[in-house]
A = this chain, B = another copy of it.
Amino acid sequence: MRTTRQREAILRVVRSADSHPTADAVYDAVRKEIPGISLGTVYRNLKLLAEAGEVMAMENAGCSSRFDGCTEVHHHFRCEVCGRVFDVADMLGSDIDRVVEAQTGFEVRGHCLEFRGVCASCGEVSGRE
- The distance in angstroms between the C-alpha atoms of A103 and B117, with both chains bound, is 14
* Total copies of the chain: 2
8 Å CB interface, A52-72 against B: 53-61, 63-71
A100 at the A/B interface (Cβ < 8 Å)?
A: yes
- Of B14, B71, B86, B105, which one neighbours A55 at CB under 8 angstroms? B71
Nearest CB in chain B to that of A74: its residue: B56
Interface size class of A (residues with CB under 8 A): 35 or more
- The distance in angstroms between the C-alpha atoms of A80 and B118, with both chains bound, is 31
Q: Chain A residues in contact with chain B, CB under 8 A?
A: 14-17, 19-24, 26, 46, 50, 53-61, 63-71, 76-77, 79-80, 84-86, 88-89, 91-92, 96-97, 99-101, 103-120, 123
